[in-house]
Structure 1
Amino acid sequence: MCWTPMGQQICVISMIVEEWREINGIWTLIATSTREMQVIIMECDISQPYLVGGIQNLQGGSLADSVTINICPGDTISYDLVFDDDDPDAILKVSSNADLVAPGSTLDTSGKNPVNATFSWYVPSSFQGQNVITFKVENDVCPIPGQNFYAFNIYVLEGTSGGPDLYHCAGGIPVQMNADGGSIFVWDPPDSLSCDTCPAPFAFPDTTTEFVVTSDLAGVCGNTDTVMVFVVPTYSLNAGLPDTICKNDTLILAGSINIIDTGMAYSWLPDYNLLNNDSIITKAYPDTSINYILNTISTDQCRMSDTVNINIAGTRHLISAYPTDDSICLGETINLIVTASPTSCGLNTTGCSSGQLEVTVGAAGSAINKGTPYSGFYEDGRVQYLILQSELSALGLTKGATIKSLSFFVSLKQSTQSYNNFNIKLGCTSLSSLNTFQSGLSQVFNGNVNNTTGWNNYQFNSYYDWDGTSNLLVEVCFDNDSWSDNDFVFGTMTSFSSVIFDQDDFSSGCSLNNPQSNSSRPNMKFNLCTGEIDSTFDIKWSPSSYLDFDTIPSPLSVPQSNISYYVTITDGFICSSVDSLTIAVRSEMITSACQGTIMCNGASYNMSATGGYFYNWTPSTGLTNANINNPVASPSVTTKYYVQIEDSAYGCLANDSVTVTVNQLPVPGFGVDTVCLEAFSIFIDNSQGVSGNIIEWKWDFGDGDVFIATNSNSLNHLYSASGLYNVSLTVVDDNGCESNYSSQANVWDKPIADFTVDPSTMQLLINAQMNITDASLGALSW
């Protein structure tokens, strides 16, 4: 939009953007967007800077008019310009496009108001025709600075030029002259030239020589020119000795010279994988065999060159060695593992199953629907994401890894159809921001997909190796025949341009190439592994102590003390990689448990164990507490108790056992008849031993008399009085176990026989009745 305001005013300019789509053959308005901006046209009373007097102090060339200078190629031009401003407080600034139009030119300024500007330029022999230099002068007056532009044309006439004077030294790099202006050239003298009839011969004179070039050109600038080749002092240069290294190695490129020249300039070529290229000694880390060339220029302009060959004879792989557990208990078996991280980017060819990792790029963030993999509002979409190596390193990926899958988190699903021909591609790059789609990425996934709310994981058809040093590119594209709506995903804002995207209809999604960029990148979850050691590697673990094998990627070890293992991986050439691991072994636990015991049923035993922090007794039957070091055991049968003792530092375990032998109690018993006073009570023993033989019978007759027998013979006991007596028998077996039985012995009084007869009935008559009354004590019968 162009507009020239005619007067002071305040206006608002509105712009409306409409989006139309062809739906079922009818163009339909889909959406509109309006933007407005306010423009204030002010009355300004400010000064304008201006040029004073035009070109001044012209040297070289001639004025064709007030703004045009004619000059021959190979000549040098210089002139002054003076800029002024009527406002004495204004400060002027002068700039130009001279660095673009006149390469190698200089513009020097002095003063603030006025400003003196001096322009100088050596006109290369290849330049001809118009070369318009524009000067901009601007003051610092507020609110709107005043400015003016002035243009001057340097018109380079046709003429013959041999180029600038040159410098050469014995044994140094031949200098190349370059004639221009004409089609046929002859150089004189022809000696010390690679060719005397070509436009750009190499010169290598032994002494300072003036070479004259003559062309077939006819014109104002003439057809001859001279080039002085000055011969300057020489010196010796050595780029160093050739070397054979491994990929991923760093070496020192150490050149040397035989003179002291603090002004010597150095340049290593190619400038590839060098720490710096302008020092005689530098670090290099080439990934392919290469010839490095060291170019030098002395203060006297002697140019020397030497080459050193660096041969790459294999790859020194980045390996990681680790145990399944680095703090173990004595006698425990562990697995030692070594993996090799990828050192280059590309599709994986070795497989990947060890060292599984999962990293998520991006925080919780916010929901976005622009620049996502799921721009379903369009039929076709393409997006690329840039992830910096520094971001991956901060997540723990300090070495290369193999990427197996990728996930995006859908926060709100609005699309109603699948995404067809859904492609995921990966690649590596040195770019630190994205502005255009990058090519050369490798396809790792393809299919028709339906997304859902939450994480949507895509297991790759082909794994991808990331080298650990490059930035990572992720591309997603799809190609549908219809549209529905965009889906929202969680994303995180980055500090750089990390997203470019394009979407359209009636196109091919993966071929879209008119991207927009932003910095709100969808969160991504990667599933990775650290790499396999395949059969092309030679493996050696050292020391081999306690290992089942020392030449495999994953040996078993049963270390008996603290130990460090070193593993060396050789790629079949000369390149070895070494890593180490250390295992801390808990010294043997000093534990103890009490001796077993023999006891009678019903007794208890105070067991104990020492040397640990946690205890577990099994079985728990008959124990007061199975999880202390000193439970009391009261089993009813012989029991072997096992105790597991655990320390507190490593969780190491020790085992011991205590056997509690339980002898069952003897079974006492006896029988006794009821007797009369003055008769013996007979006690008949019927006791039985169970775990042992009865060796002692303790009789307590209940009348104060106690008798200890050593056999089971029947006993006679005479009670002095009648009554019911509590008799107890305690039997003891040869295991020392005893048991008691009680019963009662009944002693009756001795009966007294007596009776009386009624005298009145004492008649001696047949069939007469006589009354007799019983007066007995304890009588039972007549």
Structure 2
Amino acid sequence: MFNSPFYWDGTSNIVVSFCYSNSNASNSAATVKTDTYTGTNVAAYSYADNQSAAAVCATVTGSTGGSGGSSTSTTRARTIFNGVIATDITSTYTWEWNPGAISGDTITVNPLVTTTYEVTAFNPVTGCTSLPTQVEVTVLPLPATPTATPSTQCGEGIPTASVSGGTGTFLWYDAATGGNLVQTGGTTFAGSINTTTTWYVAEDDGTCESERAEVVATVNQPDAITATGPASICIGGDINLGVTQTGSNQTYTYTWTASPEAGSGITGSLSGGAQTITPTAAGTYTYNIAGFDAAGPCNVSDQITIVVNELPVITSATGTPEAICNGNQSVLTAESIPAPPSSFTLGTGSSATTSYQSPFYHLYGGLKDQFLIRASELTALGMTAGQITGLGLDFTSGGATYNSFSLAIAPTALTALSSSGLVNTGFTTVYSASSFTTPSATGMSVIDFNTPFIWDGTSNIVIQFCWSNNNGGGTSSHVRYTSGLAYTAHAYYRADNQSPATLCGQTSVTSTSTGRPNFMFVDGGLNLTSSLNWAWNPGGLTGSTVNVTPSVTTTYTVIATDPVTGCSSLPSTVEIEVLPLAANATASSMTTCAGDAVTLNANATGGEPLSYSWSDGTSVVNNTASFVVNPTTTTTYTVTVQDVCLNSVQSSVTVTVNPLPSASIAETGPINLCSPATQVITAVTDVANPEYQWLLNGTEIPAATSATYTVTESGMYSVRITNGDTDCPATSSTIEVNINPLPSAIVMDPVAPEICEGTGVALHAASLGSPTTGVIGTGTVSNSSTSATSPYKGWYGGHKVQF
């Protein structure tokens, strides 16, 4: 049984502590019944040999006096508590405390000396009074009130006002009673002040706190100063910092500092009231100025916050087209896309889905698939808050169609999906189509969103696919996925023969898994084009896209201005080349001979495509840039060139044509001669300065350049006559000359016949024609004189060979 009862408040946890020491090395042990609480430490203990009870019972952890140790346990002794369980009847009694005859079960007393109070309870129902119970209130003496020493200062600074007294801790308050404790410890106030300030300081000896002493630090206000400068500037610009003084009582020296210092334009500090600085980085900076008057001494300060804004950045400026004809239009376009779109792939699994991890699994007629992605997974990919404009899946099979298809994304605080129900709030529908056909080609394919999803950079997200073909199943499409995630990342509902509205409105879960498709997130980047004001010159045109129609080649300059900060970009330029329409008709030969080929060329430039029309003065002869003519008389050719803007220009070229000389042979053929007879043939022409070249069978005869030529062999003869003044040639018609051989030698048979008188003999004359030779065989190998087949074999003295 307890010597003193423990009063439990009915709500607090409690600790029961047993402690003893026999101041020896061992004892006999007693056994008690225990209970074990798996996973929870319900006991802590320490032990030691040869230590006093005071030492053992004071141990919190570790050994005691170098002996023993401490530990914890999930086993606890079975404990029986004896207590009083009853109705609190305090309020039914009448209570009286003495001395003072004070009524009430709870009273407040303020004795000046140690006093014993006793209380009795009177039961008004029975008229009985309890025996008195006593309690002694010990009154401890207060520490002495601190002694205060005031101070006076000029302007801002750490005051010298102080307190002194005993060895306790000084407590600095902002009120004579109650109030706020503003500093613990110290005989002076440690902070800087700029107005007269009163503190109330007590001394605490660890048990009692003394009366408070008033401590006054008087601040004589110096002339105030005000830091001046712009509220904001654009990076690259200067900041003119200044200071104004209200009054003329002080003569200040000034010091400027900045926070943060890096990029502010101030390194360390600058002396002097007026400063021109150039920040090197965009940001928000606080510029502090401190004024000091040594005569006071007086300290004052002020600060100004200045925003240094980035300049807009023009990432591209183009003209389409960049080359035009006079009168045509070009579209000038400027963009500011500081962060271009990028993509992030989540998941490395290489297996193809065979079940509901594919949002296009068509075992049932419709499917509502949800996939959870934690924010930590997205940030690990390098993603930051902003737009998600597309979602890719790595298809292994496709080509199937899914009706009433929708894709939605929602932020969520869930860290895992549950079989208790699908997520049904907070969704943004990012893509929808009356029918969606998965790609037939394998690999990553991106669904571009109709509406971007704005990720806040910290929330987990749920991606939901839903569709229904309102049937009993069909062809599935499959994607690569990652399985075995550390949490339930997938939940779905599937059903047959449900309308899209019914199926997509379901919140119940068919099943869950730890698998999820490999996703590619497309980040829309940061496109500031529409938020900027654009100015193009010359022309004073406004807008990121403008139309221009220059008449000469012109360089346009564009500047983007942020309407919020007023900062303007560096200029970008676009040159639009105006191609003047021009043509210069030329001929490969300005002077030619009748019938010769001449190439004509328009040599035109201008806004393409160009069209051409050539005329010979009588009719249109061609409609290309270049072509070949064979004029027979002097002719002027004129080309008309038209550009895409229907501008036209003409150019002419005259080809002077010289006539061909007449060329003939006075003699007529065929001419037949008997060898060794010859024939002189004569050229005939009408030109005064002819040049001749005789030809046999179309080939020039060497040195045959006279007006006549003596023919010594058969063939077809012609003469080419060139006008020595114009260099124009003409070739006559051919004539045939045949020089026939005489009959060959006559061979008589017999050669010298002898006959008897009165008898006859037959004489035969023959002409065998021209002698000739013939070769039998095609052999090329030369046999030696020792070969058996050589008729001149010399191995032996004689040889006979027959062929």
Q: TM-score, normalised by structure 1?
A: 0.38
- Higher Rg of the two aligned structures: 2
Q: TM-score, normalised by structure 2?
A: 0.37
